[in-house]
Structure 1
Amino acid sequence: MKDDRIDYAAVFQGLPGMVALITPDLVFADANEEFLRMSGRTREQVVGRYLFDVFPDNPNNPGATGMRNLEASLERVLATGERDAMALQPYDVQSSERPGEWEERYWSPVNAPVFGPDGRVVLLVHRVEEVTELIKARGGPDGDRTRVLEAELYTRARELQEVNERLRQAHAREREVALALQQAMLPVPGPVGRHRPAVRYRPAVGSLNVCGDWYDLVDLPGDCVGVAVGDVVGHGLRAAGVMGLLRSALSAASRVAHGPAQALEVVDLYARSVDGAENTTVVTTRIDWETHTITYSSAGHPPPALLHTDGAVEFLDQATDPPLGARPDSVPRPQGATFFAAGDALVLYTDGLIERRREDIDVGLDRLADSLVRHRGIDPEPLADAVLLELLPPDGATDDTALVIVRL
């Protein structure tokens, strides 16, 4: 094949099926010729206009749900970043030539995300298969069989819609219960010794993508404080329960262990007996204000960031081992240490803050460092708000996020 550039705009317009591009605000960015032809619309009537202004539900048909189902599908794609194939949908489509008249159409849509460089969904691909002629075929020797097929397909479509709605409601209820359980198990943010850290938790936008993350802050002997964050694999009620067990175990171990590494070794042994605890990531630190040192140990977790007053950001990544329960045998875990100066800030977080789909983790770490440096002169509370505002997607992240900032 010659090394000629492919005219993708011409390819898009020449696609044999109905395809449209929709923005996250549900506005048509483009539509190919087949989409315009089959929908009976001109380019001027579609491009740049809100999807449901172009194709509203029929106000004369209270049972019309096609457009509402389409909106729910598009919102799922935006929230999850995953492709969503819809069941066969009956639509009432207003005639472009005869306003006020509605045509019964049957479309089978599939919606898929297009990601930008930052991993966010920047466009939605809306592909539609037109099956109206198949459903509405009449006459001939197969006329009766076609009418039976039409009725069966319509019935199955309505049944699938009802099942999807019941699942959505069940997921929403489980999300509420899981969040309530998590809030009951996590410590209430408050002073630790003479210090008051800033603590934030942001749940994911997905129905069940919540409750795997936790944080913990404990007073330790001497002028010391233990700070930890962790992330359980999985979501929902099960993850919330596992999270509570591991957080409590680490909190107790930190009070009696000789350091963060030994505390993780104890919790690692415990995690082997807890179903669902395997591959949990966690990092725990011990801040000693007398010696101005931070000791730390990580079980597969993103490294804490130490923000120095001169604007340098040091990632504490010299004591990282596999997640909890990942090794068949128990072995000593590594422990690192670093010095801090008065006014520095220690930042612990979970991967929802920095990781984006199809993006190297170093990009997220650089983004965090840049945000911390820009706001290094402010107190922990506004600093936490600024970091979340800059790093989390404006429409919500697909993974929950915990963040703890301690001024040293």
Structure 2
Amino acid sequence: MREPQIDYAAVFHALPGMVALLTPDLVYADANEDFLRLAGRTREQLLGQYIFDVFPENPNDPAAAGMRETRESMLRVVAGGERDTMALVRYDIEERERPGHWVKHYWSPVNAPVLDPDGNVMLVVHRVEEVTELIQARDGGGPDNDDRARVLEAELYTRARELQEINERLRRAHERDREVALALQEAMLPAPTPVGHHRAAVRYQPAVGTLNVCGDWYDLVDLPGDRIAVAVGDVVGHGLKAACVMGQLRSALSAAARVAEGPARALEALGLYARHVDGAESTTAVKTFIDWGTHTVVYSSAGHPPPALLGPDGTVVFLDRATDPPLGARPHHVPRPEATVPFVEGATLVLYTDGLIERRDEDIDAGLARLAGALVLHQRSDPETLADALLADLLPPTGNTDDTALVIIRL
């Protein structure tokens, strides 16, 4: 199917409402039919002319300010490259056929830039909504002392339209921010690569009221032999700043896991690196090395909530025997502890951030008990189903005020 050939010049001239195009010097480049008709000018009287030579200020009205306000609005557009919506203005126009006779017009203008590929303003779109009839509707253009009431009525109408435009601009800005956030999330928290033949599930849930990025992270790394390294971490704060810190720390810990002898050494390397990252103070993280050859989990925690090990028989053990302060909490480097726990085939390892369990009005032990109960309740579920069930059971239905990351590995 062939695309229709659109005559944009014809579309412009047929646009409903008054629309004109001006150069950055405020010289008319074009005007549509409604503009010519309602302004009472021919195309020849406009094109190539400075706007305020065509429409000067009414010399008979010392309080007239339509020309000044319109010029300031257009110059703001040229200087800043941003749309400018004007309040209602009274702009008297001299009749061409009756020199010296000025007709009142009430206009609600919007001035918008047209940018070239380099971002420079090459045209100004001057759109005018004629509201003169609205103001004069009550008494057919009665005495001037009633103008204020009618101007107020039109001003309310204009303000409502401005609010609609502001809401639309906010919506577009939110969409742009959301696109940036989604791209950032995808770059910093990509879908985990396959970890051999083992089944894993990950979840990432930012706090309500924030962009779709946060300071929580997860990481899964294949190691030589039948081993993997799994980590979760939590940067203080929310939003883009925390996410940027998170991206740096996640990458550093992922690299350290590939060369370190164990999780404690990997966290030590991360702690040294975090000293030079603004905003990394008080970050918590837990690192585990899972070895299917020896059926063991070696772990170390930097101030992070303990991973949970769910046995096939429904027992839940929290891995809390190798916990040290968060990153940057000590003034000097100190070796971190690590511990080893055995597992049997069919067990499940669960790593998470504090958003899953902590509530401001209760002790952390209550959150850990709630997690243990949910694990037992859903112990026969596969990792993907279990991940969804934990989020559904443990997070508030209206959304959480803290970020949440979750990793589940079937051992």
The TM tier, using the shorter chain, reads 0.5 to 0.7
The runs of 5 or more residues in structure 1 that have no matched partner are: 1-157
Quote the residue 1:211 is aligned against.
214
Distance 2:176 2:325 in 1: 34
- Partners of 2:245 and 2:280 within 8 A in 1: yes
Quote the residue 2:297 is aligned against.
294
Alignment TM-score, normalising by the size of structure 2: 0.57
Cα deviation for residue 171 of structure 1 reads 7.1
State the AA in 1 paired with 2:409: V
* Cα shift readout 1:158-200 (whole Å, capped 9, x = no counterpart): 99xx999999986775465334302222131342022120111
Is residue 378 of structure 2 the alignment partner of residue 375 of structure 1? yes
- Partners of 1:219 and 1:226 within 8 A in 2: yes
* Cα shift readout 1:254-277 (whole Å, capped 9, x = no counterpart): 010000000000010000001111
Sequence identity percentage: 74
How large is the Cα RMSD of the aligned pairs? 2.6
Distance 1:250 1:211 in 2: 17
* Cα shift readout 1:3-61 (whole Å, capped 9, x = no counterpart): xxxxxxxxxxxxxxxxxxxxxxxxxxxxxxxxxxxxxxxxxxxxxxxxxxxxxxxxxxx
Quote the residue 1:135 is aligned against.
none
The runs of 5 or more residues in structure 2 that have no matched partner are: 1-159
- Moved >3 Å (runs of 4+): 162-176
For residue 280 of structure 1, the aligned residue among 276, 283, 286 is: 283
For residue 355 of structure 2, the aligned residue among 349, 352, 357 is: 352
SS of 1:226's partner is strand
Larger radius of gyration: 2
Matches within 5 A, 1:7-406: 174=177, 176-207=179-210, 210-406=213-409
SS of 1:200's partner is strand
SS of 1:228's partner is strand
How many residues get paired? 253
Cα deviation for residue 206 of structure 1 reads 1.4
* Cα shift readout 1:61-87 (whole Å, capped 9, x = no counterpart): xxxxxxxxxxxxxxxxxxxxxxxxxxx
Distance 2:167 2:339 in 1: 50
- Partners of 1:349 and 1:404 within 8 A in 2: yes
Cα deviation for residue 249 of structure 1 reads 0.5
SS of 2:196's partner is coil
Q: Higher RCO, 1 or 2 (CA under 8 Å, sep at least 6)?
A: 1
SS of 2:333's partner is coil
- Partners of 2:238 and 2:403 within 8 A in 1: no
Quote the residue 1:15 is aligned against.
none
State the AA in 2 paired with 1:180: A
Alignment TM-score, normalising by the size of structure 1: 0.58
* Cα shift readout 1:207-256 (whole Å, capped 9, x = no counterpart): 25841110000001111100000011122111111111111100110010
CA separation of 1:290/1:299 partners in 2, compared to 1, >3 Å: closer, same or farther? same
Distance 1:212 1:309 in 2: 33
Distance 1:222 1:210 in 2: 34
Cα deviation for residue 399 of structure 1 reads 1.4
